[in-house]
Amino acid sequence: MKISLKWLQQYVELTVAPEDLAHRLTMAGFEIEDIEYQGSVYDKFVVGEVLEVNKHPKADRLTVCKVNTGTEVVQIVCGAPNVAVGQRVPVGLSGAVIPHNQHDPEGKPFALSHVKLRGVDSFGMICSAHELGLGDDKDGIMVFDAHAKVGAPLAQYLGKDDIIFEVGITPNRPDAMSHFGIAREVAALLDVKANLPKFQLKESDVSVQQHAKILIEDTENCPRYSGRVMFNVNVADSPKWLQNYLLAIGLRPVNNVVDITNYVLMELGHPLHAFDYDTLAGKTIVVKRAKQGEKFTTLDHKERTLTGDTLMICDGERSIGVAGVMGGENTEITHATKNVLLESAYFNPASIRRTSKYLGISTDASQRFERGANPNVTTFALDRATALLQELCGAKVLKGTIDVYPVPVKPKRVPLRIGRTNRVLGTSLTKDDITTLLNKIELTSIPSTNSPSRDEVMIEAPTFRVDIEREIDVIEEVARVYGYDNIQTDARANLSFYEHPPKKDFSDEIRDWLIGRGCKEVVANSMCDIETAAVTSKDFVEVANPISKDMAALRTSTIPGMLNIVRNNIFHGSKDIRLFEIGRIYFKTNSQAHKNSDSFVPGYYEENRLAIAFSGLSNPRHWNEQPRQTTLFDLKGELEAFFCKLFLDNYKFIPYSTDNSLTDSGLVIHLSGKESGYVGKIRPEIMKRYEIEQDVFVAEISIPNLEIARECERTYRPLPKYPSALRDVAIVIDEEISVETLTMAIRESGGPLLKQIELFDIYRGNQIAAGKKSCAISLEFNSEEQTLAQEQIDTIVTSILNHLQVTLNASLRT
Partner 1 sequence: MHEAIETLKRSALAELSTSGDLQALEHFRISYLARKGQIAELFDKLKDAPPEQKPALGKALNEMRRSIESQFEEKKARLETGQKKKSIHLDLTLPGLRPWVGSKHPITQTLDEIKRIFLGMGFQVETGPEIEDDYHNFGALNFPPDHPARDMQDTFFISNDVVLRTHTSPVQIRVMETQKPPIRALIPGRVYRNEAISARSYCLFHQVEGLYVDTNVTFAELKGTLVAFAKQFYGSSLKYRFRPSFFPFTEPSAEMDITCFLCKAKGCRVCKNTGWLEILGCGMVDPNVFQSVNYDPEMYTGYAFGMGIERIAMLRYGIDDIRILFENDIRFLSQF
518 touching partner 1, by CB under 8 A: yes
Considering the complex, what minimum distance in angstroms separates the CB of residue 471 from partner 1?
8
In sequence order, which residues have a C-beta less than 8 Å from that of residue 509 and are 6 or more positions away? none
Q: Site for partner 1 (CB under 8 A): how many residues? A: 97
Q: How far apart are CA 561 and CA 582, in angstroms?
A: 12
371 touching partner 1, by CB under 8 A: yes
DSSP assignment of 61-110 equals T-EEEEEE-SS-EEEEEE--TT--TT-EEEEEETT-EES--TTSTT---E
Considering the complex, what minimum distance in angstroms separates the CB of residue 49 from partner 1?
36
Q: Which of 306, 475, 528, 635 binds partner 1 (CB under 8 A)?
A: 475
207 touching partner 1, by CB under 8 A: no
Report the amino acid identity of residue 380: F
| Closer Cβ to partner 1, 9 or 597, answer by number | 597
| Closer Cβ to partner 1, 261 or 367, answer by number | 367
Say if CB 786 and CB 722 are below 8 A apart.
yes
136 touching partner 1, by CB under 8 A: no
455 touching partner 1, by CB under 8 A: no
| Closer Cβ to partner 1, 78 or 169, answer by number | 169
Please, which of residues 3-42 interact with partner 1 by CB under 8 A? 26-29, 31, 33-34
Considering the complex, what minimum distance in angstroms separates the CB of residue 265 from partner 1?
17
Considering the complex, what minimum distance in angstroms separates the CB of residue 59 from partner 1?
44
Interface stretch with partner 1, choices 82-90, 304-312, 616-624, 716-724 (CB under 8 A)? 616-624
- Residue 386's CB is within 10 A of a number of other CB atoms, namely 26
| Closer Cβ to partner 1, 194 or 514, answer by number | 514
Q: Which of 187, 359, 579, 701 binds partner 1 (CB under 8 A)?
A: 579
Please, which of residues 335-364 interact with partner 1 by CB under 8 A? 349-350, 353-354
Torsions phi, psi of 661, nearest 5? -65, -30
- How many angstroms separate the first and last alpha carbons of the chain? 91
Q: Which of 522, 533, 612, 703 binds partner 1 (CB under 8 A)?
A: 522
Q: How far apart are CA 700 and CA 671, in angstroms?
A: 13
Interface stretch with partner 1, choices 184-192, 248-256, 532-540, 573-581 (CB under 8 A)? 573-581
| Closer Cβ to partner 1, 17 or 544, answer by number | 544
Q: Which of 541, 639, 692, 800 binds partner 1 (CB under 8 A)?
A: 541
Query: Between vectors from CA 85 to CA 84 and to CA 90, what angle results, nearest 5°?
Result: 70
Considering the complex, what minimum distance in angstroms separates the CB of residue 454 from partner 1?
19
Considering the complex, what minimum distance in angstroms separates the CB of residue 493 from partner 1?
6
**Residue 509 burial (C-beta neighbours within 10 Å; 0-12, 13-18, 19+):** middle
SS3 labels along 756-805: EEEEEEEECCCCCCCCEEEEEEEEEECCCCCCCCHHHHHHHHHHHHHHHH
Q: Which of 117, 152, 530, 551 binds partner 1 (CB under 8 A)?
A: 551
Considering the complex, what minimum distance in angstroms separates the CB of residue 149 from partner 1?
32
Q: How far apart are CA 281 and CA 629, in angstroms?
A: 84
Please, which of residues 476-495 interact with partner 1 by CB under 8 A? 476, 479-480, 484-485, 487-495
DSSP 8-state symbol, 325: T
Q: Which of 519, 639, 737, 753 binds partner 1 (CB under 8 A)?
A: 519
Length, in residues, of the chain: 814
Considering the complex, what minimum distance in angstroms separates the CB of residue 518 from partner 1?
3
| Closer Cβ to partner 1, 466 or 725, answer by number | 466
Q: Which of 370, 404, 557, 635 binds partner 1 (CB under 8 A)?
A: 370
Please, which of residues 587-606 interact with partner 1 by CB under 8 A? 598-601, 603-604, 606
205 touching partner 1, by CB under 8 A: no
546 touching partner 1, by CB under 8 A: yes
Say if CB 498 and CB 513 are below 8 A apart.
no
| Closer Cβ to partner 1, 405 or 464, answer by number | 464
| Closer Cβ to partner 1, 145 or 220, answer by number | 220
Please, which of residues 165-194 interact with partner 1 by CB under 8 A? 170-173
Considering the complex, what minimum distance in angstroms separates the CB of residue 522 from partner 1?
4
| Closer Cβ to partner 1, 129 or 527, answer by number | 527
In sequence order, which residues have a C-beta less than 8 Å from that of residue 453 and are 6 or more positions away? none
Nearest to 64 by CA among 85, 47, 95: 85
Q: Which of 286, 397, 565, 800 binds partner 1 (CB under 8 A)?
A: 565
Interface pattern 298-337 for partner 1 (x via CB under 8 A): ----------------------------------------
206 touching partner 1, by CB under 8 A: no
Please, which of residues 794-813 interact with partner 1 by CB under 8 A? none
| Closer Cβ to partner 1, 515 or 744, answer by number | 515
529 touching partner 1, by CB under 8 A: no
448 touching partner 1, by CB under 8 A: no
Considering the complex, what minimum distance in angstroms separates the CB of residue 370 from partner 1?
5
Say if CB 317 and CB 281 are below 8 A apart.
yes
Considering the complex, what minimum distance in angstroms separates the CB of residue 608 from partner 1?
9
- Residue 27's CB is within 10 A of a number of other CB atoms, namely 14
User: For residue 1, what are the CA distances in angstroms to 174, 266, 364?
Assistant: 11, 10, 10
Say if CB 310 and CB 366 are below 8 A apart.
no
Q: How far apart are CA 560 and CA 562, in angstroms?
A: 5
Query: Between vectors from CA 308 to CA 306 and to CA 311, what angle results, nearest 5°?
Result: 75
631 touching partner 1, by CB under 8 A: no
473 touching partner 1, by CB under 8 A: yes
Nearest to 348 by CA among 309, 291, 398, 389: 309
| Closer Cβ to partner 1, 498 or 760, answer by number | 498
Give 3-state DSSP helix, strand, coil % of the chain, rounded to 5.
30, 30, 40
98 touching partner 1, by CB under 8 A: no
In sequence order, which residues have a C-beta less than 8 Å from that of residue 612 and are 6 or more positions away? 514, 519, 578, 579, 580, 635, 638, 639, 698, 699, 700
Q: Which of 157, 225, 586, 642 binds partner 1 (CB under 8 A)?
A: 586
Strands 412-417 and 456-461: antiparallel
Q: How far apart are CA 670 and CA 649, in angstroms?
A: 11
Q: Which of 527, 709, 753, 775 binds partner 1 (CB under 8 A)?
A: 527
Considering the complex, what minimum distance in angstroms separates the CB of residue 449 from partner 1?
25
Q: How far apart are CA 712 and CA 179, in angstroms?
A: 67
| Closer Cβ to partner 1, 242 or 479, answer by number | 479
In sequence order, which residues have a C-beta less than 8 Å from that of residue 789 and are 6 or more positions away? none
In three-state secondary structure terms, 440 is: helix
| Closer Cβ to partner 1, 406 or 620, answer by number | 620
Please, which of residues 373-432 interact with partner 1 by CB under 8 A? 423-427
